[in-house]
Structure formats: C-alpha cells, structure tokens
Amino acid sequence: MTHRAAGFTLIEVLVATVILAVLSVLAHRGVAETRLVVERTRESATRFREVQRAITLMVTDFRQLAPRPVRQPVGDGYRPAFATDANTSDLVEFSRGGWPNGYGAPRGSVQRVVYVLEGETLIRRHWPVTDPTLSTEPVSRELMKGVESVQLRFMDEDREWQERWNSGRSDLRARPMAIEITIRLRDYGELRRLVEVAG
C-alpha cells in the first residue's frame, strides 16, 4: 500500500491563485466605486449648502428692506431705497435694515446692497457705509456658481406684478410689497421663492 504525500497539486495552487486574483479585482473595484460615490455625495452636499445659503441670504435681505434712500456718490441728489436699472448689469440695488454690528463699530444698522450676475456667478456686494462715495469700495461675495439666469418680479402697492421697479418714482422710499425670485441653475433647474417684504 502506497501513501500519497500530503500537499497541494500544481492545479490546485493555480485554481486558488486565480480565485484570489478575481476576488482582489472585485474588492478593488468595490472600494474604488465606494470612494467615487462618497466623493460625489460630498460634492452634492457642498453644492446644496451653497445654493441653500445663497437663497436664504437673498430672502433675508428682501425681507428686511429699509425705506432709506442713499446719497448719490456725487452731488446732492439721492438714490431710491429700492431700484432696478435696465442700463446696468445689476439685478437690484437696495437698502436693508438689521445689519448686525457684532464688533460695535461706529456705524448704522442699514446696509446698501446690490446683486449682480457676472457670467454664471451670482455676486452680492455691500458697502461698509450706508452712503458710499465714489472712493468707497464695495465688499463682494460670490454666492453661487452655475447660475443660468435670475429673474425678479415686484408686487406694487396695487398688488400688480412688475418686471422692473421704476427707479423714477417720486417717492424715493417706495419698496415692493413682495418679491418673486426665480433662479435657473445648470444642475438643479428652476428654483422659485416668494418673499413678503416686512412693513
């Protein structure tokens, strides 16, 4: 009676090696796909927070519109508290109240703000003083990218919707009763908010 030597044959070793290689490839692919999903999820969450912050800031600004005209940069005239101008790239320019003063700086609580769409980037600018001069530089903040268009409509005192707020009104303190914001984004499509103006 002959005894067979203990161990693996060459065929068994090759089969085990092939199985191990296949499992390694599958595991590597699974890890790579998981990393890709995690990265896409992170990018999506970052983008969602960017859009949410931008819209929240716009809504807050419009809710706190202040009936405060500002001095013209040159001369003795005044600019209206709220205005749109078809001759500039500005979407809207206005005064807003409730400007927090955490540092206790010597300034008022009214802030002059303008929204601009440059390319596909929505930008908010404000001035460090309520009545800026030509030498006063605005503070710019990019709110969000990938913006295809921004449309604003304004409800007047007769509850009629206007495409533009007439900057030639005799009452420089006039503000809309409500503002409809429609933003079209490359990735999210159309977003719409209706803001009721306080006061």
CA atoms within 13 A on the CB side of 195: 24
Burial 105-123 (b: 16+ CB within 10 A, else e): eeeeebbbbbbbbeeeebb
How large a percentage of the chain has pLDDT more than 70?
91
Q: Tell me, what's the pLDDT at 101?
A: 67
158 C-beta neighbours (distance < 10 Å), count: 7
Average confidence score pLDDT of the chain: 86
Task: Give one word for 3, left, alpha or beta, with left for phi > 0 and alpha for psi -120 to 50.
Answer: beta
CA–CA separation, 51 vs 198, rounded Å? 24
CATH code for residues 60-196: 3.10.610.10
Q: How confident is the model at residue 193 (pLDDT cuts 50, 70, 90)?
A: very high
68 C-beta neighbours (distance < 10 Å), count: 22
Q: Let me know: does 101 contact 107? Beta carbons within 8 Å.
A: yes
User: Looking at the predicted structure, is the pLDDT value of residue 167 above 60?
Assistant: no
* Torsional sign, CA 123, 148, 186, 151: positive
User: Looking at the predicted structure, is the pLDDT value of residue 67 above 80?
Assistant: yes
